[in-house]
């Protein structure tokens, strides 16, 4: 059984409310942290080895240590709750059921970073959650954990919840900051990173909801103890939102030592694939990461089991591996069509492109049109190479990672399922009515 740090109290009735959360020891980590210096907290976060849980996996302690501290300039913590990656819904779960875990994490983090005004930027589609967060903020304030002179330390903190307008691109940290400033959410060129020039050009740390929530157990058990959970550079626990062709979709907390096979088939997690169907492929880290066929998902090319952690999932690079990403675990059974699936993703990225960069603006639409042609039985064999060529010209040539995110699913689908693309082209009459199934995989 995996160790639970974030979700250990999620089953307790009323845990959403301050009184119950407090009875379970809630805000104890904040009381402990506020007696420490900001530098001591930073050392704990560094020692924990926590890596950003939004998708990039950048070390949180390192990001915090990059925060510029010019004299007289306010600094900010911004929590990225614009969780829009298809297949990803773990932050929603945290905010809906454990809002005080996030607020407590924000209190500790804001104190460490020197932010007196911190923000939660939440995707517009999560329309019912801002009320839950705002109620929790009010409760924390009434109990003296937010507002002026918190616990008599002289530290002040206000937290504001900002609703997004429903654009995927506003989850990219610099687009998010533009949107928070009241502008159109166009990504900025980096560097400068937000840690130097962020919200209103002030030093800003942008962190994912789960990363900030994880600060609470880190302070509870110490960074060194947190680092003992997991394996290698995949320390602590990770929330995985599992969906697709599985018996038990939901949000699971894993300690990153379990195998992918165990995660899919054990009763503790996904509970296997419905109707005894076979596994065809999986996208383990949200739609932006490469799809992997079953044979490379359950084992690496060296025949080692593949584990649910940053290193093992990426083993072999993009040719045979994938990424942990945001932890949006999407399972495809033998009945799923890879061409249709890839086309659906291409349509999504084309729709969500902000249009600033030519390769992304034009390339995502072009890829979608070609994939639609193939899916509709009107494709030519040369279209596969054309698709490959377009995705290569997008990758690495854009302002923000949305371009890469649009290119990688197409590249991985062609790399691993080229035969299926060819089958659609050679069998136009069957293209939409039949499924290539598991042939050759
Ligand atoms: P990134 O690798 O560019 O940056 C990671 C973080 O480290 C950022 O906060 C950045 O500011 C910081 N950083 C990196 N180098 C730095 C330096 N030298 N100095 C100061 N700070 C530095 O990746 P990014 O753009 O933040 O995230 C991309 C990932 O987001 C994708 O891999 C994807 O998995 C994920 N994603 C998640 C979504 C979700 O709904 N959770 C939605 C879309 C994408
Ligand atoms: Fe906009 Fe796409 Fe360029 Fe990102 S890569 S800035 S979404 S056009």
For 22-80, write each residue's pLDDT tens digit: 999 999 999 999 999 999 999 999 999 999 999 999 999 999 999 999 999 999 999 99
For position 144, what pLDDT does the model report? 98
For position 439, what pLDDT does the model report? 55
Asked casually if ipTM beats, i.e. exceeds, 0.90, the reply is: yes
Contact partners, residue 420, CB within 8 Å, separation at least 6: 337, 338, 339, 436
Q: Are 310 and 328 in contact (CB under 8 A)?
A: no
Ligand 2 and 190: CB distance under 6 A: no
Per-residue pLDDT of 224-235, as tens digits, reads 999 999 999 999
Q: Are 277 and 245 in contact (CB under 8 A)?
A: yes
Contact partners, residue 111, CB within 8 Å, separation at least 6: 33, 34, 38, 41, 150, 153, 155, 157
Cα 159 to Cα 215, 328, 434: the distances in Å are 17, 28, 53
- Best probe residue, ligand 1, of 50, 52, 55 (max atoms within 8 Å of C-beta): 55
Pairing verdict, β 117-122 and 158-163: parallel
For position 433, what pLDDT does the model report? 72
Structure tokens at 146: 């937010």
Please identify which residue in the block is written with the tokens 């009735």.
Answer: 13
pTM: 0.97
Contact partners, residue 382, CB within 8 Å, separation at least 6: none
What is the distance in A from the centroid of ligand 1 to the CA of 357?
19
For position 3, what pLDDT does the model report? 83
For position 435, what pLDDT does the model report? 75
Q: How far apart are CA 403 and CA 352, in angstroms?
A: 10
Q: Which parts of the chain have pLDDT scores under 50? A: 440
What is the distance in A from the centroid of ligand 2 to the CA of 402?
6
Q: How far apart are CA 173 and CA 399, in angstroms?
A: 12
For position 258, what pLDDT does the model report? 96
For position 326, what pLDDT does the model report? 96
Q: How far apart are CA 152 and CA 218, in angstroms?
A: 23
Q: How far apart are CA 210 and CA 415, in angstroms?
A: 32
Ligand 2 and 397: CB distance under 6 A: no
Count how many Cα atoms sit within 13 Å of the Cα of residue 202 in the half-sphere of its side chain.
17
173 CA closest ligand 1 atom index: 26
User: If 0-12 CB within 10 Å is exposed, 13-18 middle and 19+ buried, where does residue 69 land?
Assistant: exposed
Vertex 151 angle, CA 22 and 66, to 5°: 95
- Best probe residue, ligand 2, of 189, 402, 406, 408 (max atoms within 8 Å of C-beta): 402
Q: Give the count of beta carbons closer than 10 Å to the beta carbon of residue 24.
A: 12
Ligand 2 and 361: CB distance under 6 A: yes
Q: How far apart are CA 322 and CA 317, in angstroms?
A: 7
Q: How far apart are CA 357 and CA 370, in angstroms?
A: 20
From the CA of 60, which ligand is nearest? 1
């Amino acid at each position: 059984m995996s160790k639970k740090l974030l979700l250990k109290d999620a089953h307790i009735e009323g845990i959403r409310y301050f009184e119950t959360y407090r009875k379970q020891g809630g805000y104890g980590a904040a009381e402990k942290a506020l007696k420490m210096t900001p530098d001591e907290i930073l050392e704990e976060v560094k020692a924990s080895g926590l890596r950003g849980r939004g998708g990039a996996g950048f070390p949180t302690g390192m990001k915090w240590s990059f925060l510029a501290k010019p004299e007289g300039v306010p600094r900010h913590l911004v929590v990225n709750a614009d969780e829009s990656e298809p297949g990803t819904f773990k932050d929603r779960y945290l905010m809906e059921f454990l809002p005080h875990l996030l607020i407590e994490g924000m209190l500790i983090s804001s104190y460490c970073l020197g932010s007196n005004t911190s923000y939660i930027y939440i995707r517009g589609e999560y329309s019912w959650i801002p009320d839950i967060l705002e109620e929790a903020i009010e409760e924390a304030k009434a109990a003296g954990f937010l507002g002026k002179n918190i616990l008599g330390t002289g530290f002040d903190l206000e937290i504001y919840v900002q609703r997004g307008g429903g654009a995927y691109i506003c989850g990219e940290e610099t687009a998010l900051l533009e949107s928070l400033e009241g502008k159109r959410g166009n990504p900025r060129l980096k560097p400068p990173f937000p840690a130097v020039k962020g919200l209103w050009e002030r030093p800003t740390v942008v962190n994912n909801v789960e990363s900030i929530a994880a600060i609470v157990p880190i302070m509870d058990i110490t960074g060194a103890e947190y680092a003992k959970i997991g394996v290698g550079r995949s320390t602590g626990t990770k929330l995985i939102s599992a969906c697709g062709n599985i018996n038990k979709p939901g949000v699971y907390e894993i300690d990153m030592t379990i195998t992918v096979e165990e995660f899919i088939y054990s009763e503790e997690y996904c509970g296997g694939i419905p109707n005894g169907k076979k596994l065809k492929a999986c996208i383990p880290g949200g739609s932006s990461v490469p799809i992997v066929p079953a044979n490379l998902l359950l084992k690496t090319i060296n025949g080692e089991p593949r584990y649910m952690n940053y290193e093992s999932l990426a083993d072999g690079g993009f040719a045979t591996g994938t990424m942990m990403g945001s932890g949006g675990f999407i399972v495809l059974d033998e009945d799923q069509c890879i061409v249709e699936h890839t086309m659906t993703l291409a349509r999504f990225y084309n729709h969500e492109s902000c249009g600033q960069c030519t390769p992304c603006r034009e390339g995502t639409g072009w890829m979608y049109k070609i994939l639609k042609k193939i899916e509709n039985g009107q494709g030519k064999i040369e279209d596969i190479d054309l698709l490959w060529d377009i995705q290569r010209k997008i990758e690495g040539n854009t302002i923000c990672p949305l371009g890469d995110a649009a290119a990688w699913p197409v590249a991985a689908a062609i790399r691993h399922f080229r035969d299926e693309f060819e089958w659609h082209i050679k069998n136009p009459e069957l293209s939409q009515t039949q499924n290539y199934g598991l042939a050759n995989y």
